[in-house]
Amino acid sequence: MAIIRPFKALRPVPKVVTEVASVPYDVVNTDEARVLAQNNPLSLLNCTRSEIHFPDSFDHYSKDVYQKAKMILDEIKKNAPLEVDESPNFYLYRLIMNGRAQTGIAATFSVDDYDNDIIKKHEKTRKEKEDDRTNHIVTTEAQTGPVFLTYKGVSSIDQVVEKVTKEEKPLYDFTAADGIQHTVWILPTEFNQLFIAEMAGVNNFYIADGHHRAASASRARKVKMENNPQHTGLEEYNFFIAVLFPAEQLHILPYYRVVMDLNGNSKEEFLNAVAEKFSVEKSTMKEPEEAKSFCMYLEGEWYLLKALDSVLASNSLSASVGDHLDVSILQNFLLQPVLGIDDPRTNKRIDFVGGIRGTGELEKLVNGGKFAVAFSLYPVTVNDLMNISDANEVMPPKSTWFEPKLRDGLLIHTI
């Protein structure tokens, strides 16, 4: 049984929402965050990436950086201002990108459900990234951006969502600089119990994006619990903010791969080695049109690769759900044996490019000389994600790119 709760959001007054709302902290680096927050003291990036207020030589993970985040959040609360709703609410959050809409429920979710795998994961997390957000949450006493969850939709919930988004005036409605429209409604409280009751019948929620945020909320709960002798389990730190979308509304983009060199091979040797496991032909295609196919960019030319029947037959014998993913086929039959990419999580010769950047970015990286070869892949499906999660497996690193992204700062959960 999954737990979902309304909460009292800390949020900007409508007139400053476009100044406060920011891209997620983890889709920009420090330099990019500094540029985006420049001349805008209300941007939440000043808080979520507070290292931008220190020299590059300064330790970005020091206590001073997190204390700065707390101070900045307090300043934004005062100057924006940010207000706290008087009563707990559910919120509806709609994103529209290129005419395609998806609408989710913004709420708080149980850390216990995360710890007990009622909220399913499909990625491993990195300790240093967990450390960063855990320190940020504990110091600011706020979860500044939501986790992105999905589930197999419930028709009664869908009907209410459609009714409210058609009939109610939105709290926020703006189009960001990247062209994505963000609209938020407060759900009328008459529907709160319906949402709670219907969601109690859902067996599992699935993390689509935001594994580090969820893991950090769990770790922050442990810290707060240890420091609270009167812990009851009902404190706000026992819950984390997320937006829950029906699976059928989601769109997953692929994650591309770029490799710095050909592992000591000449171009001819490399192509011959690839041809042992894949059909290889020059092509005008830059993205595969079906699964088990890959497009490769090498020395100014695109190639279409298709896994040979012998590869698919041997791979079908694997009991692992993850081994059947395209990202695994590329890794297991080309990147590792031919290019020597043993562990893509740690190998410094490989990098990843989100599908939102397009194949032009792959051409740019290879033509610029930093990388020797690039690969575009067919996207993972939401069913793939759920099947991996249900099997308690993890996807290979950088398998999914969800777009559009939720904005930080629209709804903040204080703990």
Residue appearing with tokens 């490799």: 259
Phi, psi of 306 (to 5 degrees): -130, 130
Q: Could you give the residue ranges of the DSSP H alpha helices within 61-191?
A: 63-79, 111-115, 127-140, 155-167
Q: Give tens-digit pLDDT for 166-213.
A: 999 999 999 999 999 999 999 999 999 999 999 999 989 999 999 999
CATH topology of domain 255-378: 3.30.1760
pLDDT at 13: 98
The arrangement of strands across the sheet holding 301-307 comes to: 278-282, 301-307, 293-298, 373-377, 255-259, 350-354
On the 0-12 / 13-18 / 19+ scale of CB atoms within 10 A, 347 is middle
Q: Which two tokens stand for residue 377?
A: 């892949």
With a cut of 90, say whether residue 126 has pLDDT above it. Answer: no
Q: What is the pLDDT of residue 400?
A: 87
Residue-wise pLDDT for 339-387, tens only, equals: 999 999 889 999 999 888 999 999 999 999 999 999 999 999 999 999 9
pLDDT at position 114 is 97
pLDDT tens-digit series, residues 248-286: 999 889 999 999 999 999 999 999 999 999 999 999 999
Q: Mean pLDDT across the stretch 66-77? A: 98
Its pTM stands at 0.89
- CA 21, CA 25: separation in Å to the nearest integer? 11
Q: List Cβ neighbours of 119 (8 Å cut-off, separation of 6 or more).
A: 2, 109, 110, 113, 149, 204, 205, 206, 207, 214
Cis before 396? omega within 30 = no
**CA distance to 65, 198, 350, 401, per residue, from 47 (Å):** 9, 36, 31, 25
- pLDDT confidence of residue 397: 80
Enumerate the CATH 3.30.1760 domain ranges in the chain, comma separated.
255-378
